[in-house]
Amino acid sequence: MCGLVAILGMSRPVTRAPLERGIHSLRHRGPDGQAIWLDPQGLAGLAHARLSIIDLVGGWQPIANESGLIHGIVNGELYGFEAQRAELEARGHRFRTGSDSEVALHLYEEHGVRFVEHLRGEFAVILWDQQKRILVAARDRCGIKPLHYAIYDGRLFLASEIKALFAAGIPARWDTTRMAQLLGIGVLPDDLTMFHGVRQVPPGHVLLANTRQHHLLRYWDYDFATEEEMSGAEEEDCIRNFRTALEDAVRTRLRADVPVGCYLSGGVDSGAILGLASRFSGRPLRAFTLQFDHDAYDETSRAEEMARFAGADFCPLPMNSRSLAEHFSEATYHAETLCINAHGVAKFLLSRAVRDAGYRVVLTGEGADELLGGYAHFKQDVILHETSRYDPGKVEAMLQALVETNAVSRGLLLAEQRTPMEILRSLLGAVPSWFFSTTAYLVPLMPLLSAETRAQIEAVDEHLALVASVDIRGQLLGRDPLHQALYLWARSALPNYMLTILGDRMEMAGSVEGRVPFLDHLVIDAVRRVPAHLKIRGSTEKYLLREATRDVLAPTIYRREKHPFHAPPAVLQPDQALHRFVQDTLRSSALLELPFFDASRVIDFLDHLGEVPPAQAVLVEAMLMLLTSACVLQERFRPATSGWGGEASILGEFLIRA
Residues paired with 515 in a beta bridge: 363
Residues paired with 192 in a beta bridge: 199
φ, ψ of residue 210 to 5 degrees: the values are -130, -165
Q: 17 Cβ partners below 8 Å, 6+ apart?
A: none
Report CA torsion sign: 471, 473, 479, 484: positive
Q: 376 Cβ partners below 8 Å, 6+ apart?
A: 402, 406, 409, 413, 414, 562, 564
Domain boundaries, the chain: 2-176+191-220, 233-370+493-559, 577-634
Exposed / middle / buried, residue 131 (Cβ in 10 Å: 0-12, 13-18, 19+): exposed
Q: Do domains 2-176+191-220 and 233-370+493-559 have the same CATH topology?
A: no
Distance from the first to the final alpha carbon of the chain: 30
Q: How many angstroms separate the CA atoms of 253 and 265, rounded? A: 19
The SS3 assignment for 199 reads strand
Angle at which helices 321-335 and 617-637 cross, to 10°: 50
Side chain identity, residue 247: E
The SS3 assignment for 292 reads strand
Instruction: Check residue 285 and give its pLDDT.
Output: 97
Residues of the chain with pLDDT under 50: 388, 395-396, 398-399, 402, 408-411, 413-414, 418, 646-658
Architecture of domain 233-370+493-559: 3-Layer(aba) Sandwich (3.40)
DSSP 658: -
- Is the CB of residue 567 less than 8 Å from the CB of residue 345? yes
Q: What HEC string does 259-279 produce? A: CEEEECCCCHHHHHHHHHHHH
Task: Report the percent of the chain where pLDDT is more than 90.
Answer: 76
Side chain identity, residue 98: G
CA 469 to mean position of chain CA atoms:
18
User: Exposed e or buried b for every residue in 636-658, given b needs 16+ CB within 10 A?
Assistant: bbebeeeeeeebbeebeeeeeee
Instruction: Check residue 59 and give its pLDDT.
Output: 63
The SS3 assignment for 367 reads coil
Instruction: Please name which of 340, 337, 100, 524 lies closest in space to residue 516, comparing C-alpha atoms.
Output: 524
- Is the CB of residue 60 less than 8 Å from the CB of residue 35? yes
Q: How many angstroms separate the CA atoms of 7 and 21, rounded? A: 12
Instruction: Check residue 409 and give its pLDDT.
Output: 45
Q: Going by DSSP bridges, is the β-strand pair 286-292/313-319 parallel, antiparallel, or unpaired?
A: parallel
- Is the CB of residue 571 less than 8 Å from the CB of residue 606? no
φ, ψ of residue 7 to 5 degrees: the values are -135, 135
Using alpha carbons only, how large is the chain's radius of gyration in Å? 24
- Is the CB of residue 595 less than 8 Å from the CB of residue 640? no
Q: How many angstroms separate the CA atoms of 214 and 206, rounded? A: 10
- Is the CB of residue 428 less than 8 Å from the CB of residue 476? yes
- Is the CB of residue 150 less than 8 Å from the CB of residue 137? no
Residue 160, CA atoms < 13 Å, CB-side half-sphere: 34
Instruction: Please name which of 351, 362, 331 lies closest in space to residue 625, comparing C-alpha atoms.
Output: 331
Instruction: Please name which of 501, 519, 225 lies closest in space to residue 369, comparing C-alpha atoms.
Output: 519
Q: Which long-range contacts (CB under 8 A, 24 or more apart) does 642-647 make?
A: 642/173, 643/173, 643/175, 643/196, 643/197, 644/152, 644/171, 644/173, 644/196, 644/197, 645/197, 647/151, 647/152, 647/154, 647/197
The SS3 assignment for 137 reads strand
Residue 494 — left, alpha, or beta (φ > 0 → left; ψ -120 to 50 → alpha)? Answer: alpha
Residues paired with 34 in a beta bridge: 49
Instruction: Please give the class, per CATH, of domain 2-176+191-220.
Output: alpha beta
Instruction: Please name which of 357, 515, 350, 502 lies closest in space to residue 1, comparing C-alpha atoms.
Output: 515
Instruction: Check residue 165 and give its pLDDT.
Output: 98
Side chain identity, residue 486: L
- Is the CB of residue 201 less than 8 Å from the CB of residue 216? yes
- Is the CB of residue 562 less than 8 Å from the CB of residue 399? no
Cis bond upstream, residue 62 (ω within 30): yes
Instruction: Check residue 230 and give its pLDDT.
Output: 81
Q: How many angstroms separate the CA atoms of 621 and 441, rounded? A: 9
